[in-house]
Amino acid sequence: MKVSEIKLEPTIANRRSPRAFDPDRGISKDTIIHLLEAARWAPSSSNSQPWRFILGQKGDETHQKIAASLSEGNRIWAENAPLLILAVTQEEGERGIQRYAWHDLGLATAQMIVQASAMDLYAHVMAGFSKDQAQAAFDIPDEYAPLTVIAFGYLGDISGLPEKLQERESAPRIRKPLEEIAFQGSWEEPLA
């Protein structure tokens, strides 16, 4: 079967990271709980469940504080998202350093994003924010690390974005070919 013929699950195939969110469409509490439940049921190393989430809804103080920690390039569009989630992971637990804490948070947020996609919601993950500012703003203990901010919302009109960002929204999405990322037998040996 040719790669071009493969039909992925629509929740995966339709997912992308937009910058324009519908300003008139908030996210219900019910939907937010769905997202958190999807994250909660992710696998994790030794079932350590190192993920923690701080949620800001547009108009509340948490949303403002998360938005204020974003780099300018992200804030310009992400502050309009109805939901901003600060994703935090526990790097050190009762049994010492949790080497897979970043990996596990990634799995949990991936599940959240796919669940969002199933509900016509879109997510945009960002590493561009001040971790120190977020840590201080929410009194996050030292053994926890804020890793990403995720903007969630329903798709909006890109005409409201600055011109440069409008161009990026319509640019083709690019991926490495399978031959570059999947091997068989030994390193860089393509799939038979």
Instruction: Estimate the crossing angle of helix 101-118 against helix 29-40, to 10 degrees.
Output: 140
Least Å distance, CB 15 to ligand FMN, is: 7
Binding to ligand FMN by residue 127, rule CB under 6 A? yes
Window of 23-31, 86-94, 123-131, 182-190 that interacts with ligand FMN by CB under 6 A: 123-131
| Residue partners of 117: CB distance under 8 A and separation at least 6 | 10, 11, 12, 14, 15, 123
Binding to ligand FMN by residue 89, rule CB under 6 A? no
Select the residue interacting with ligand FMN from 128, 140, 144, 166 (CB under 6 A).
128
Select the residue interacting with ligand FMN from 44, 49, 69, 74 (CB under 6 A).
74
- Site string (1-40) toward ligand FMN, x via CB under 6 A: ---------------xx-----------------------
Binding to ligand FMN by residue 62, rule CB under 6 A? no
Least Å distance, CB 147 to ligand FMN, is: 7
